[in-house]
Each structure stands twice: as structure tokens, then as C-alpha cells.
């Protein structure tokens, strides 16, 4: 998209490709419900306001427009679906973006598995960003189908610079504290490429947590108690509240969220099977449950959208806004 093509649409001097009329827009910036029309140009929102003409016009008749939901951390292969079929299941539930850590397929197929996950998600109606696995094999005590070393990290990031946005969950937190050379090298490679370093540190607190964060690991989805999650948040971590098919932490953690700290919380599913997705939902299920629990609806929607987009520096995502 060229700037000179979208500006005339925003100014109203040219027709929008699609005009969504009479919408109630959930504004995650102001926390308000805003009435107006939405002018679309290709895949972008050109503007919000009193736009009157579009090549295609849809009257929403007061329906609510919410940003696409974002899953902050998951393993697509855990759904037992191909990426295309996974997209078919979750897009219908409002999820438009996921950050996928393909460490399960990588532990079986190595680089070939990673390339499959990246290349098979090109052009599907779901934004799939990749957190390159940090632990293949998961431990030195298992027999896996492959090994990913620091040299592989360099090649992958150089080949897929826009698709890989993070180093996948650093589950070997004892290795971080013991300054394991290979693991620290992987972290250094990714952080010098300005990629996020995702965490996985169940029960880690106190000085050990401080040291873990010092290794540029700034998120975690493994907390199990309110006290643990509040400590991690207070040290600057983005906390992903998880509700998967096996690990379910929503009920234990949601009370930690309040109006003062909610910007540091996101939602993730980690591992969720297709039966649960079809029966209960995906990130939309967590939004509904948060609201039912008593959380302000705007806060619940922020946790599923803008909070995650800002943490991962995802441009033009997480809000209904121009650009």
C-alpha cells in the first residue's frame, strides 16, 4: 500500500473500497463506544467518521465492531489441525492473529518442520507470526528428531525476518540462571535482532526472577497463582493468562487484573484442541469469561487485542483506527 493511495480516501475526496455504516466501534484507546462509519481501503482502515460513499456499502445497523483478537502464545500443531484448517476454526471465532511457537513439530522434523509452519501459513486468512523454538531438544535427556543450535537461529531469522518476531518460550530457566552458553547465545542473537524473548518460568520468583528478566525475557504464560503473577507483572513482565485444553489458569489468575495494571496482561491458549475451540471458543471464550467474572468489557477486549499488539510491536493491529 502506498501512502498517496490511502490519503485521498481518508480525506473523503475518493470513495472507500468498502464503507461500513452505522457502526458502534469499541475504542481501545479511549475506552469508549464510538458511533460512526468506517472507510476501508484494501486491507487498511482509511478513516473513521462521517464518510458517506463507498464502492461497496454495508449498513451494520448498530452492530459492535471489535479489533481482531490476538493469541499471544500457542502451538498450532497441538490443535492436531493443519495451519489452514486451524485458521478456519479460529477466524470464525474472531481471532485474526496468533504468535505461534512450533517447538513440537521442530522437535520431530527440525528445520523442515519450521519451514513447513512458516510457508504453509503464507496467504491464509490468519496472521501467523513465529517465535522460533529455543529448546530443540526440550532437554538433554530426551531423544528428539532434531537439534536447533545458534547457527540455525541466524539462518532462520535472516530468511524470514518479518515472520519471526520472537525467540520461543525459554523453558530452560535453570539454564539461564546457570548461564548455559548455547542458550545465552540464542538469546543474544534474537535480542540483537530486536526480537522479543518469550518466557516459561513456572514458580520462579525473587532473585531468580530478577536474573531471568535480566536475560531480556519479558513475558511469561506459566504462572499458576495470583501472587506469582502480580510479582512478575510488577517486575515489568507481560503476563499471558492461559486457558488451554490441558493447562487452565484463567480462574486462578483473572482476579489479579485491575484498572491500574491491566495493560500488562494478555490472553493465550498455548495448547487447545479443536473440540474445545468448536464447543467453547478460542480467545473469544476468554473475553466472555472475563466479562462474566466482572471485568470491564473494554479491559477484557484490550487484553485480547491492543495489549498483545503493543507488546510484540505489531503495527496496524489491535485497534479499530486509521492506518
Domain definitions of the chain by residue range: 3-65, 69-311
Grid look-up 496468533 returns 98
pLDDT band at 137 (very low <50, low <70, confident <90, very high): confident
Rounded mean pLDDT, 219-246: 98
Rounded mean pLDDT, 266-275: 96
pLDDT of residue 104 exceeding 80, the answer is yes
What is the DSSP secondary structure assignment for residue 226, as one 8-state letter? Answer: H
Rounded mean pLDDT, 67-94: 97
Q: List the CATH code of the domain at 69-311.
A: 3.20.20.140
Q: What is the mean pLDDT of the chain?
A: 96
User: What is the per-residue pLDDT for 144?
Assistant: 78
- Of all residues in the chain, the percent with pLDDT exceeding 90 is 95
The pTM assigned to this predicted structure is: 0.96
C-alpha cell at 207: 532473585
Q: Which CATH number fits domain 3-65: 2.30.40.10, 2.60.15.10, 1.10.150.20, 1.25.40.10?
A: 2.30.40.10
User: What is the per-residue pLDDT for 10?
Assistant: 98
Helix, strand, or coil here: 243?
Answer: strand
User: What is the per-residue pLDDT for 1?
Assistant: 80
Other Cβ atoms closer than 10 A to 160: 16
Supply φ then ψ for residue 25, to 5 degrees: -100, 125
Rounded mean pLDDT, 53-71: 98
Lowest-confidence segment of 97-101, 133-137, 140-144, 234-238 by average pLDDT: 140-144
The CA–CA distances, whole Å, from 76 to 18, 65, 80, 117, 118 equal 32, 27, 8, 9, 11
pLDDT of residue 33 exceeding 80, the answer is yes
pLDDT of residue 142 exceeding 80, the answer is no
pLDDT of residue 141 exceeding 80, the answer is no
Supply φ then ψ for residue 57, to 5 degrees: -120, 130
What is the DSSP secondary structure assignment for residue 134, as one 8-state letter? Answer: S
User: What is the per-residue pLDDT for 208?
Assistant: 98
Amino acid at each position: 500500500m502506498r501512502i498517496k493511495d490511502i490519503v485521498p480516501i481518508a480525506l473523503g475526496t475518493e470513495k472507500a473500497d468498502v464503507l461500513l455504516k452505522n457502526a458502534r466501534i469499541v475504542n481501545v484507546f479511549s475506552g469508549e463506544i464510538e458511533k460512526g462509519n468506517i472507510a476501508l481501503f484494501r486491507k487498511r482502515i482509511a478513516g473513521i467518521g462521517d464518510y458517506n460513499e463507498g464502492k461497496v456499502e454495508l449498513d451494520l445497523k448498530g452492530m459492535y465492531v471489535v479489533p481482531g483478537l490476538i493469541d499471544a502464545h500457542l502451538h498450532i500443531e497441538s490443535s492436531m489441525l493443519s495451519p489452514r484448517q486451524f485458521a478456519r476454526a479460529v477466524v470464525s471465532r474472531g481471532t485474526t492473529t496468533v504468535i505461534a511457537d512450533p517447538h513440537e513439530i521442530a522437535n520431530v522434523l527440525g528445520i523442515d518442520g519450521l519451514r513447513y509452519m512458516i510457508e504453509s501459513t503464507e496467504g491464509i486468512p490468519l496472521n501467523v507470526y513465529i517465535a522460533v523454538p529455543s529448546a530443540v531438544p526440550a532437554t538433554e535427556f530426551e531423544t528428539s528428531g532434531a537439534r536447533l543450535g545458534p547457527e540455525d537461529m541466524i539462518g532462520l531469522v535472516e530468511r524470514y525476518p518479518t515472520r519471526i518476531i520472537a525467540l520461543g518460550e525459554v523453558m530452560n530457566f535453570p539454564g539461564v540462571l546457570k548461564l548455559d552458553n548455547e542458550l545465552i547465545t540464542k538469546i543474544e542473537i534474537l535480542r540483537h535482532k530486536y526480537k522479543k524473548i518469550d518466557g516459561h518460568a513456572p514458580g520462579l520468583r525473587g532473585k531468580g526472577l530478577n536474573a531471568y528478566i535480566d536475560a531480556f525475557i519479558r513475558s511469561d504464560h506459566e504462572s499458576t497463582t495470583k501472587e506469582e503473577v502480580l510479582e512478575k507483572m510488577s517486575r515489568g513482565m507481560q503476563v499471558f493468562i492461559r486457558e488451554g485444553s490441558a493447562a487452565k489458569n484463567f480462574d486462578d489468575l483473572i482476579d489479579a487484573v485491575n484498572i491500574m495494571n491491566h495493560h500488562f496482561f494478555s490472553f493465550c491458549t498455548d495448547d487447545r484442541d479443536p473440540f474445545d475451540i468448536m464447543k467453547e471458543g478460542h480467545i473469544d471464550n476468554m473475553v466472555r469469561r472475563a466479562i462474566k467474572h466482572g471485568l470491564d468489557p473494554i479491559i477484557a477486549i484490550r487484553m485480547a487485542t491492543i495489549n498483545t499488539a503493543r507488546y510484540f510491536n505489531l503495527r496496524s493491529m489491535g485497534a479499530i483506527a486509521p492506518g
